[in-house]
Amino acid sequence: MTQVPEVKEVPPGFENAHADAAKYREMYKESITDPEKFWGREGKRLDWITPYTKVKNTDFTFGHVDIKWFEDGVLNASVNCIDRHLATRGDQTAIIFEPDDPETPAQHITYKELSEKVNRFANVLSSQGVMRGDRVVIYLPMIPEAAYAMLACARIGAIHSIVFAGFSPDALANRINDSGAKVVITADTAPRGGRRTPLKANADAALLHCSDKVRCLVVKHTGDQTTWIDGRDVDVKAMMENVSPDCPARPMNAEDPLFILYTSGSTGKPKGVVHTTGGYMVYAAMTHQYTFDYHDGDVFWCTADVGWVTGHSYIVYGPLANGATTVMFEGVPTYPDAGRFWAVCEKHKVNQFYTAPTAIRSLMGQGPEWVEKYDLSALKVLGSVGEPINPEAWAWYDKYVGKGKCPIVDTFWQTETGGHMLTPLPGATPTKPGSATRPFFGVKPVVLDPQTAVKQDETETEGVLCISDSWPGQMRTIWGDHERFQETYFSQYKGYYFTGDGCRRDSDGYYWITGRVDDVINVSGHRMGTAEVESALVAHQAVAEAAVVGYPHELKGQGIYAYVTLMNDVEPSDELRKELEKWVRTEIGPIAKPDIIQWAPGLPKTRSGKIMRRILRKIAENDFGSLGDTSTLADPSVVDELIENRGNK
């Protein structure tokens, strides 16, 4: 068992060339007392076609929520990620592509090559009628074309919306339709962990539910056979050869949308989170530089998928805006064996490594010998994201991967926040395993009493985590539904942005995220609305009713626990359970598959018919002692029945 320290001071010998603790404190103070001045200066880290004269114009008042940063500035995100680096680092590697199969050579794509690919890709999009403001859905695996596609959209002012390649055709169709996309970009098949996902076939299935005007751009990646519909399907690589290598970058207003990314909320329908160009880019670039103490020449590896916000901000936009070398990994941590992450770190001399606690926990279970086989001496900073990191995993990461000399940055943030909100800064913040420590520059966290909404002023306290003022990376709206945006984030605690998370602040002012307080669960660092899984389950003809909750899961952080009430004439069986698991996989995707399905002849409901999830959560957690008051239930006996048959697998 690895010893867990309570506090880990900055490792001796670790040098942060940006600033020390005192400088950071001073910068933080300025960032919240004079945001205009602070962000006015920080905004200059980008190249602007027309410089901004206004910095911040934001209002959190419910009913009038309006967020604008650098609003009169004009810029282009792809120019900031590519063109401006060409004179000084055209021959430097921008992207290292590490394929799924370790025998396939890695690709080193220079900034010059990236420029040509993105320009050509942009011209392909234009040739398909994609114009400024149009939506483009990207359904690609972790291949360089995913980055080319994102940057190509940015170049011509189109708004990309990436759909994680693990999502089902139905989920893809919903996102194409909600965003009103003109084009979907996919690949023939996607190798992952030695297996292949039929992406094009999924896209074909999705497009049956979309307008027949939607074009399908196909990257022939593996060369696997797929169906082909002439007039609708386009071979991207072939077309890229036939278009000009130059595509002028479209001047975009700072507040023009850069992308939409769908994420789960507490109600059934995923929300299209909208990020705009100027503020998001400033924030992604700045957090990438400071949180990871990134320096010119460093090789940065974020293991997330580009289908999630972490991939947007810390594989593509942040690193490339900073002229970094960023690693894109097509595979999984355990293929061909549990040493793959570390083999890749050694091979590409990775300096900053950023992954999720669930990956660390699963590798930890394989034993430290998989790490010890490799030379990890290039590593300087380790990052964690997606869920609270348990202290044992933290200590293992520190000892075996970081050899005690690499600061660990536990970064708390969300799809909605665009970039890090709470995080240590390497070399400046002593860390505590399990705590995301302190706010990033410009972030004003507050802890509120969940019931009374009263702001808790004592340092040591617990409650819900809200943010009291805007920061440049904040989402601006929900695509097509500004009212829902205000309702979701600004209605419950007036005047604040509500994160949906609970937290504790300790006597040193360190923040500890205690998990979601809404009906969102976090499965392996992926966010899942329980309502989404419920609506998938009840769409099955055998299911009358379903209630889904999270429960502690050793590897995934949280697992999906589904209580299912069957139709009167349906008998429970193992086959039916398997069928329902498969059903959810096809309705949403493999990440939504319930870990446990419990047959529930009845669900605990109040007399007005509301399901008491609190009780279901307790039963799923195996915590029967604290069920609380069950006297308001219409039929308290269902609770005993559920306890008796808990987890009836």
Binding residues: 192-195, 310, 386-388, 410-415, 501, 516, 524, 527, 538, 540, 543, 585
Which residues fall in the annotated binding site for ATP? 386-388, 410-415, 501, 516, 527
Q: Which of 179, 411, 524, 530 binds ligand PRX (CB under 6 A)?
A: 411
Q: Choose the binding region for ligand PRX from 103-111, 409-417, 529-537, 623-631 (rule: CB under 6 A).
A: 409-417
DSSP string, 374-408: S--TT--EEEEESSPPPHHHHHHIIIIISTTTS-E
Tell me, by CB under 6 A, how many residues bind ligand PRX.
Answer: 21
524 counts as binding ligand PRX under rule CB under 6 A = no
557 counts as binding ligand PRX under rule CB under 6 A = no
DSSP string, 531-576: HHHHHHHHTSTTEEEEEEEEEEETTTEEEEEEEEEEPTT----HHH
Angle 218-219-220 from CA coordinates, rounded to 5°: 105
421 counts as binding ligand PRX under rule CB under 6 A = no
> Exposure of 610 by Cβ count < 10 A (0-12 exposed, 13-18 middle, 19+ buried)?
exposed
513 counts as binding ligand PRX under rule CB under 6 A = yes
CB of 492 to ligand PRX, least distance (A): 15
CB of 488 to ligand PRX, least distance (A): 13
Q: Which amino acid is at 204?
A: D
CB of 29 to ligand PRX, least distance (A): 24
Q: Choose the binding region for ligand PRX from 154-162, 341-349, 383-391, 539-547 (rule: CB under 6 A).
A: 383-391
CA-nearest of 273, 267, 307, 264 to 67 is 273
Within 483-512, the residues that bind ligand PRX by CB under 6 A are 499-501
How big is the chain, counted in residues? 649
Q: What residues does 100 pair with on adjacent strands? A: none
Q: Choose the binding region for ligand PRX from 406-414, 534-542, 571-579, 600-608 (rule: CB under 6 A).
A: 406-414
CB of 265 to ligand PRX, least distance (A): 10
Q: Residue 202 or residue 411: which is nearer to ligand PRX going by CB?
A: 411
Question: In the 3-class helix/strand/coil scheme, how is 86-127 assigned residue by residue?
Answer: HHHHCCCEEEEEECCCCCCCCEEEEHHHHHHHHHHHHHHHHH
Q: How far apart are CA 329 and CA 331, in angstroms?
A: 6
Q: Choose the binding region for ligand PRX from 6-14, 87-95, 412-420, 624-632 (rule: CB under 6 A).
A: 412-420
Task: Check: CB of residue 424 under 8 Å from CB of residue 438.
Answer: yes
189 counts as binding ligand PRX under rule CB under 6 A = no
522 counts as binding ligand PRX under rule CB under 6 A = yes
**What H or E segment, with its residue span, contains residue 161?**
strand 159-162
Binding map of ligand PRX across residues 259-298, x = CB under 6 A, - = no contact = ----x-----------------------------------
Q: How far apart are CA 559 and CA 555, in angstroms?
A: 9
310 counts as binding ligand PRX under rule CB under 6 A = yes
366: helix, strand or coil: coil
124 counts as binding ligand PRX under rule CB under 6 A = no
Angle 494-498-501 from CA coordinates, rounded to 5°: 145
Q: Which of 79, 436, 443, 576 binds ligand PRX (CB under 6 A)?
A: 436
Q: What residues does 58 pair with on adjacent strands? A: 67
CB of 171 to ligand PRX, least distance (A): 15
DSSP string, 192-236: ETTEEE-HHHHHHHHHTTS-TT-EEEEE-SS-------TTTEEEH
Q: Which amino acid is at 310?
A: T
415 counts as binding ligand PRX under rule CB under 6 A = yes
Q: Choose the binding region for ligand PRX from 8-16, 330-338, 382-390, 480-488 (rule: CB under 6 A).
A: 382-390
Q: Which of 120, 438, 527, 593 binds ligand PRX (CB under 6 A)?
A: 527
Q: Residue 175 or residue 516: which is nearer to ligand PRX going by CB?
A: 516
Q: How far apart are CA 630 and CA 605, in angstroms?
A: 10
Point out the residue whose Cβ comes nearest to ligand PRX.
415
233 counts as binding ligand PRX under rule CB under 6 A = no
CA torsion 75-80-81-82 (nearest 10°) is 110
Q: Residue 52 or residue 308: which is nearer to ligand PRX going by CB?
A: 308
Task: Check: CB of residue 480 under 8 Å from CB of residue 272.
Answer: yes
Q: 């967020």: which residue's tokens?
A: 67
Q: Residue 370 or residue 441: which is nearer to ligand PRX going by CB?
A: 441
419 counts as binding ligand PRX under rule CB under 6 A = no
CB of 103 to ligand PRX, least distance (A): 32
CB of 263 to ligand PRX, least distance (A): 5
Task: Output the six-digit token pair for 624.
Answer: 């029967």
Q: Residue 311 or residue 339: which is nearer to ligand PRX going by CB?
A: 311
331: helix, strand or coil: coil
CB of 436 to ligand PRX, least distance (A): 5
413 counts as binding ligand PRX under rule CB under 6 A = yes
388 counts as binding ligand PRX under rule CB under 6 A = yes
Task: Output the six-digit token pair for 98.
Answer: 């590490």
Which residues fall in the annotated binding site for CoA? 192-195, 310, 524, 585
Q: Which residues bind ligand PRX (CB under 6 A)?
A: 263, 309-310, 385-388, 410-415, 436, 499-501, 513, 516, 522, 527
